[in-house]
Structure 1
C-alpha cells in the first residue's frame, strides 16, 4: 500500500515476435504500424484527474521497436529499454494487451517485468486480456486483469490500493476471483459521457516518434510528409458482425464525444505538436448523419493550414449517403474507405451478419470517384462455411465495383468474435496460444473443408495483384495521376514491389511520358536481378503480367 503510488504503463507491439526483427530489417511483408496509443493516453489522463498519484511513466516497446535491431537477443532489448525509459520504481504496472498476435512478445517480456519489479502490482487489460483472463491469471507474473474499458475500473483499483482497502470492482479480476464466475465475467463500468475524459496524456509518450511515423495513413499527394495523430470521437458499435471482437472493450452501446471536445483535441494537437493529419480511430464514425456532417463542417471551420482528416477504419455503407459524401468533399478529405467485407449477399446475411447494401456501395463508390475522391474498399475471405463459389461472387462484385483500391484480409478467429467459436466448434482451431498467436489478418495457418490455408493465401495474393495492380480501374478511366499516387503509396512501404512499379510504368505510358516509363522499367529489371523478394515475386506471378517487357 502507498498513498500516492507510482504508475508505469507498458505498450507492446502487435506483430508476432518472429516478424519483428524482419520488419525493421526491411524483410517482412508485415511492417509494424505505429499509431498513437490512445487507450493508454486516455487512461492516464483520467487516472490523473481522479487519483492522487506519484510518478507516471510509459515503457513503450512499440515506439522504440526499431532499436531491436541493435541486439542479438530479445531479452537484451527488453532490459535495455527498461533502463532507457524508466527512471523510477513503479508500484502499479498497467500493461495494454490488445491482440493475441502479441503473445510471443508478451510471454518473453512478462517474467522480465516481474523480476525487475517483484513487489509491483501487475495489471493487464485490453481485448486479449478481457477474453483470456483465466489464462493470464494462471501466470505467477500477473496479479490482476481488467476486463473491458479501463478508466473507471483502474481508477477505483488505484483508490483501493492507496487506501489499503479491498472490495469487488466490476471488471477487476484478481486471481482468487476466477472461481467466482459471476464476478469474473463482469466487465468494467463504462464512461457514459465521453466528455468526462480529459484530453489524452500526450506528454506520456514519445509524440515525435508517433507524429512522424507512417501510421495508418494513406499517402496521397503530400500526406506522407504530414505529422499524424489519432483521435477518438465515439466508442461502441451496436452491430454484431461475426468477425469483430471490439465490443469486448467498448461494448455495443454507442457513445459520442461532443463535437466541441473533438475540435478542442484537434486544435491542441496542432498547436502543441504541429499535427496536420488526423486519423479518426472510431469503430463507427458515421453512426449519425447530422452529427457526422456537423463534425466535418466544424473541422473545416478550424481553418488550420494543411489540416487533413482520414478515417482508416472505414465508413459503414448502410448509414452513408451523398449528403455525407458532399460534406467529406467540402472538408477536403482525399480518401474514403468503405468496409464492404463481402460481395456476396448470402455471406452478408447468413455468415458475417453485416448486411451491407451492396447495390448502394456500388452507387456510392461511383459517386465518390466522380467527385475526385480516392475510394478504398475492404474485403475479407475465408469465413466458416464460405465456399469457393461464394468467394467468386465477391470477386465478380469487386470487378463491377471499380473501387480505386481494394484491401483484402483473411478471416481471423479473434476470441470474443462469433467466428472464433465457429472455427473452434468445427475443430479447425484449438485454444492453443502458440497457434492462435500466429494467426494474422493476411495469414492462415489452418485448413477448412472449403479451402486450404495455402490455397486461401495464394487466392488472395493473386487477387490483390490482379485487381489493384494489373487491372487497376484508373487505367481504364484514364486517371493516371491517381494511379501513380496509389502505386507510390505501396512503394513507400514495399520498395521491392515490382507490380507497383509495373503499375507506374503503365501509368506513365498512359500519360505519354515515355522516358519516365523507361526509367521505371529499368528499375524493375534491376530489382529482379538484385533483390530476392522482387525476383521471387516476378517468377511466381509473371503470368499475370500482360506483356513480357521485363524479359526483353
Structure 2
C-alpha cells in the first residue's frame, strides 16, 4: 500500500520548540549558561502562513525552550520530569489534532524525539510532523521513530498548510509536496520537492507567542554585550534563505537547496522592520540566516535603505558577513546605517585549508577589511576560526592562533571542527572512522555523539580552549586601547559563567588601565580566590601566561 491515513480532521495545531534537555540530565543547569534568546522563527513563519491561508485552524506556538529557562530562573533546580509534566499539561489543555516539532539540528534530536513520545503518550491519534535541519538531512532515521508520522522538508509554511488540507480532504498524501512518511506497509515515501516560497509576498513571522522582552533581557548571544537590556528591545529578522556558498563543513545550505539562494527586496525588508518598531518598540534588529546577501551590491542596498528610513537603529548579522562582500565603501555604509558589530567568518589562517573547504577568500583578504572597520572608534570586530579539519596537520592550530594575533580583533571564536550530518566533510569523516554515523533506534533513540576523533583531536581541543583564554582575556587588545570596551566584554562573559576567572582577571587589568585601583584590586583578588575552586587547567593557563594573581 502506498498511502497512510489519519482518522481525525485537523482543527487545532500546536507547534513546539522543544526543551533544551537530555533525558539522562537530572536538572536543567545548562539553561543557566546557554540561553541564546533566539525565538523559534521557523515555526513562527508556519503559524503566520496557516493563519493567513487556513483562518479556521486554531494554532499556537509553544516555545518550551524559553519556558524551560524561565522556570530555571524561578526554581534554580528543576527535574526533567517536572518539565515533561508541564508539556503534558499543555497537551491536555490545548488538545491538538496535529503537533509540529521543530528540530533545528542534530544536537536537539534527543529532546525532539522525547517530545514526540510525550505527545503520542497523551493522545496516540495526534498527527506529528517534524521539521528543521535534522529531519531534513536524516529523515530516514527520524522516521524510524514510530511516534513521528511525517517529516517536512525545506520551508515548512506551505508544507504544513497543504498537509492539513490533504488530511482534512482525505486525499492521497503523495500529492502533498515536500514531505516523507511511512506508508501502510512501513516503507518510507518521499514526495516531490516543493517550489520555493516568494519571500516578498510571504506573511511576517507570527511573534504573538514570543517573549521578546525576556529574550532581550536574558539572552546570551553576541549582540547582548552591546545593548541595554532594560531600554533596548531586540528582534530577530530574516532577509534571505539559502546560501550561495559551497563550504564543505556546512550543512545549513541543504535546507533550502531546492529553492537556491533568495533574498528580499530591501524596501520590503525595511517595511517589516518598521512594522516591528511600531508594534513592539524594537530598537535592535538581528539578521539570523546563513548568508544575508548574494553579493556586495545587495548588502549595500539593504544598508542604504535602513540608513535612509530608520536612522538611529542598531542591527547585526548574527552569522557574520562573508569577507568578499566587505570593502572600504561597504564597511562605511554598514557603519553609517547602524551596523557597528562585525563578525568575520575567516575560518582558517591557512590558504590551503581555505581552498580545501571551498571558501572564496584568502588569508590576506581579511587584513584590509579589519583596517576599514578600525576607522570607527566604537566599532567592534570578531573573527571565527575552525581548528582540526581532518585533513590538516596538528601544527595548523598554531598557525590559526598566530593569524588571530596578527589580525588583532576584539574577540576570537575558535571552534574545534564538528562534522555535521549533511555536510561533505561529515561523510568523509564517517568513511575514515573519525566519527560514528548518526543513527536512530526505537530502543536507544538517536545517537548524537558527533565529536570528531581524528588523529590528534585531544590536542586540538586542548589548544583551542587554551587559545580562547589567551587571546580573548590575557592578550585582549582593548585592555590597553579601549579598556571600557574590554570591561563590557568581560562583564558579558561573566554573566554567562559566573566563575570565569580569566574574565575577572581581564576586569582587573582593564580597571588598572583606567587608574581605578579599588576595582582593579577587587577583581584581581576575586580572580585569585575563585582560581582555587575551578578546574585545575585554569591554573595552568595562568602559569603559561606568566600571570601570578597573588602579586
Compute the TM-score of the two structures, normalised by the length of structure 1: 0.89
Shift of residue 551, structure 1, vs aligned partner: 2.0
Unaligned runs of 5+ in 2: 1-6, 440-444
1:411–1:298 distance in 2 versus 1, CA, 3 Å: same
Match of 1:546 in 2: 546
Deviations 1:96-134 (A, max 9, x none): 111111122223322111011211111111110011211
CA–CA distance in structure 2, aligned partners of residues 515 and 70 of structure 1: 33
1:86–1:374 distance in 2 versus 1, CA, 3 Å: farther
1:262 paired residue among 269, 291, 294: 269
Unaligned runs of 5+ in 1: none
User: Is 2:155–2:196's contact at 8 Å kept on the other side of the alignment?
Assistant: yes
Does residue 13 of structure 2 align to residue 7 of structure 1?
A: yes
CA–CA distance in structure 2, aligned partners of residues 313 and 508 of structure 1: 31
User: Is 1:345–1:355's contact at 8 Å kept on the other side of the alignment?
Assistant: no
Does residue 34 of structure 2 align to residue 31 of structure 1?
A: yes
Match of 1:468 in 2: 472
CA–CA distance in structure 1, aligned partners of residues 22 and 424 of structure 2: 23
Does residue 296 of structure 2 align to residue 283 of structure 1?
A: no
User: Is 2:116–2:128's contact at 8 Å kept on the other side of the alignment?
Assistant: no
Match of 2:133 in 1: 127
CA–CA distance in structure 1, aligned partners of residues 435 and 26 of structure 2: 24
1:356–1:177 distance in 2 versus 1, CA, 3 Å: farther
Shift of residue 220, structure 1, vs aligned partner: 4.3
Secondary structure, aligned partner of 2:94: coil
Match of 2:507 in 1: 504
User: Is 1:317–1:340's contact at 8 Å kept on the other side of the alignment?
Assistant: yes
1:90–1:112 distance in 2 versus 1, CA, 3 Å: same
CA–CA distance in structure 2, aligned partners of residues 420 and 382 of structure 1: 13
Match of 1:218 in 2: 223
User: Is 2:132–2:154's contact at 8 Å kept on the other side of the alignment?
Assistant: yes
2:359 paired residue among 340, 347, 354: 354
Match of 1:494 in 2: 497
Q: Which moved more, 1:408-417 or 1:385-394?
A: 385-394
Deviations 1:399-425 (A, max 9, x none): 211111110112111111111101101
CA–CA distance in structure 1, aligned partners of residues 281 and 149 of structure 2: 40
1:414 paired residue among 408, 413, 420: 420
CA–CA distance in structure 1, aligned partners of residues 46 and 172 of structure 2: 22
Compute the TM-score of the two structures, normalised by the length of structure 2: 0.90
Deviations 1:259-299 (A, max 9, x none): 22222222222222222121101211143323322222222
Does residue 325 of structure 2 align to residue 319 of structure 1?
A: yes
Deviations 1:371-429 (A, max 9, x none): 22110000111212111122222222112111111101121111111111011010112
Aligned length, in residue pairs: 533
Does residue 523 of structure 2 align to residue 520 of structure 1?
A: yes
Q: Which moved more, 1:171-180 or 1:272-281?
A: 171-180
CA–CA distance in structure 2, aligned partners of residues 492 and 304 of structure 1: 30
RMSD (Å), alpha carbons: 2.6
Secondary structure, aligned partner of 1:203: coil
